[in-house]
Chain A
Amino acid sequence: MNKSPLYSILFIALLAVFFGGAVSGVEQYTRERVEQGRVAAERSRVLEALGMEAPDSPAELADLWSGRISEKADASGLYYSAKDGAGALMGYAFPFTAPGFWGPVRGVVGVNPQGTTLLGLSIISHQETPGLGGRISEKWFTEQFRGKRIDTSTNAPLSFVYRTVNAPNEVEAVTGATQTSSRFAGFMNPFLAELPKRGVFEGGGAK
């Protein structure tokens, strides 16, 4: 098929307009659902960090969220305040953005009302290598943070080790992902050490 160059340009331009339009249409159509899914996933991570079970059904999740969690902000940024089933304050959740090897690692830490103990930690999003640094979002890693004491007498409340843990302040880092682990640890320790100084704890913290 011998056609002039002008025809080729016109053909590709028309094709691009048509398919570009179609993709935009699908994007418009799914945008709301994608956004809802993103919000739901983020809320589930916040609940996990607080040690609460995140329900699978979107309606139950929305109910639990509106009944138990309130979004607040202080000078350092947004945080969540959580009530237990009986309406008593059970803790706070603080979002964070830590540096990773390939991009930012977004997550949440849950802290008890006194700011002395970690209720949990969860990862919302990351761009680390799947199977290596990407394992920071796996349960075996994040579950280790539950119940860890935030000791503010030191600027490194947690110790990240590349072996089996044998002290209460130790967390097993991801082996094979030294860059991800050391950047994450380098961010997490000062972040945790500063947490009890935030307004909500009124200068409290583990002394």
Chain B
Amino acid sequence: MSTIKALRKNVTLSTIRRGIWDENPVFRQVLGICSALAVTNLLANTLVMSAGLFFTAAMSSFTVSLLRRYTPRDVRIMAQVLIIASYVICVDLAIKAYYPEISATLGPYVGLIITNCIIMGRCEAFAYHNPPIPALLDGAAAGVGYSVVLTFIAFWRELLGFGTLFGHQVLGDGFTHWTIMVMPPGAFFMLGITVWLFRGLLPPERRD
């Protein structure tokens, strides 16, 4: 009995570890790059976007998994898009209602979570073949993996670009703002550096 429990715990941990580190959606699979570039100039925006993606990834995987026995193979992608889109629209409406300012700055990117390959990828690769609870965990872990990388990028972009963190001044007036960091080129630099750095932390045999 206890071995089964231990095994389950082990599987759970490895699912989480896989989503956050081993198969991190951003720096391992290089998915969701468009939004990783677009919403990382301010930490506040990044956190709202990450929360949106976390919720959508977890709930979509869960729902796809719940319906997996009833979903015919030939219409499964249609069903997945429908499920993902519904959750994303709900998230978008909630942000519009409760954080109108952030909604305005995020613009179309929340809606574009619908086409984010991370969510679709987890639904198709994992949720469609696994029971609901592991699927929920798997989606959530992918969401956390995405959030961690984006927050890391946003931290440096906001700090160096505006001298602030979450809008609070941290660097003194003497600090010259690296304006390029909050512009699109800064996003490319930071993403490149981040992928390089995180991959460098992996043992050599696991690098591609």
Contact = CB atoms under 8 A, between A and B. Distances in A.
Q: Do A and B bind each other?
A: yes
B104 A34 contact: no
B71 A11 contact: yes
Given A11-B72, A130-B107, A26 B100 contact: no
Given A7-B72, A11-B71, A15-B83, A26 B107 contact: no
Contacts, number: 61
A37 B99 CA distance: 9
Contacts of A19: 82-83, 85-86
A23 B89 contact: yes
Nearest to A5: B74
A41 interface: yes
B175 interface: no
Interface residues of B, number: 28
A48 to B, nearest CB: 14
B187 to A, nearest CB: 10
B180 interface: no
A101 to B, nearest CB: 16
Contacts of B98: 33
Contacts of B89: 23, 26-27
A30 interface: yes
A24 B13 CA distance: 37
B72 A30 contact: no
**Which secondary structure characterizes the binding site on chain A?**
helix
A26 B94 contact: yes
A30 B89 CA distance: 12
A34 B94 CA distance: 9
Interface residues of A, number: 23
**Which secondary structure characterizes the binding site on chain B?**
helix
B97 to A, nearest CB: 4
A144 B167 CA distance: 24
B183 interface: yes
A3 B97 contact: no
A41 B96 CA distance: 12
Contacts of B100: 34, 37-38, 40-41
Interface in B83-118: 83, 85-86, 89-90, 93-94, 96-98, 100-101, 104, 107
A34 B97 contact: yes
Contact of A1 (B72, B78, B86, B183): B72
A11 B82 CA distance: 12
Nearest to B74: A8
Nearest to B104: A41
Contact of A23 (B72, B90, B101): B90
A38 to B, nearest CB: 7
A1 B97 contact: no
Contacts of B74: 8
Contacts of A26: 89-90, 93-94
* Centre residue among A15, A38, A40 by max chain B CB count within 10 A: A15
Given A30-B93, A33-B97, A40-B100, A22 B86 contact: yes
B4 interface: no
Nearest to A37: B100
Contact of A8 (B72, B82, B85, B97): B72
6 contacts: A8-B75, A11-B72, A11-B75, A12-B75, A19-B83, A30-B96
Given A12-B78, A34-B97, 10 more contacts: A1-B72, A11-B71, A12-B75, A16-B82, A30-B96, A30-B97, A33-B98, A38-B100, A41-B100, A130-B107
